[in-house]
């Protein structure tokens, strides 16, 4: 069912679709404020919050997903634009295990490790 939905969504993405996207991009002149494309996510290195936020994806049944080639070999968020965000997920490698994806700047890693080991 999921594979069919994805296949149907991808079918209209053809040469004409990409050409229209390129044509649209050409209508925006560099440096002009009016009509300028705006970023939809913060720039890399932009800290939205200095705090740590933990989100749980533990109840999402990622291990049951099958697009026709078997279950997933890995599941991770595509991109975490928010520094300090931790996403907890069911481990695909260890039954009952939990994987944590942590989004931090390099400068924050030593402090995170220190805090993490103090909680152990």
* CA gap 80, 93 in Å, rounded: 22
Which pLDDT does position 86 carry in this prediction? 87
Element (H, E) at 112: helix 109-119
DSSP state of 7: H
Residue 6 has pLDDT above 80, yes or no: no
Which band of pLDDT confidence, cut at 50, 70 and 90, is reported for residue 88?
very high
Residue 93 has pLDDT above 80, yes or no: yes
pTM as predicted: 0.53
Residue 12 has pLDDT above 90, yes or no: no
Residue 98 has pLDDT above 60, yes or no: yes
Q: In the chain, what are the domain boundaries?
A: 2-119
């Amino acid at each position: 069912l999921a594979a069919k939905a994805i296949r149907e969504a991808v079918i209209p993405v053809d040469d004409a679709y990409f050409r229209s996207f390129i044509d649209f991009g050409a209508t925006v002149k560099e440096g002009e404020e009016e009509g300028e494309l705006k970023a939809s996510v913060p720039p890399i290195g932009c800290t939205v919050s200095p705090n740590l936020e933990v989100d749980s994806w533990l109840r999402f049944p990622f291990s049951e997903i099958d697009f026709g080639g078997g279950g997933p070999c890995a599941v991770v968020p595509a991109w975490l634009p928010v520094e300090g965000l931790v996403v907890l997920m069911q481990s695909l490698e260890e039954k009952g295990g939990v994987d944590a994806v942590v989004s931090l700047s390099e400068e924050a890693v030593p402090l995170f490790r220190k805090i993490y080991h103090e909680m152990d």
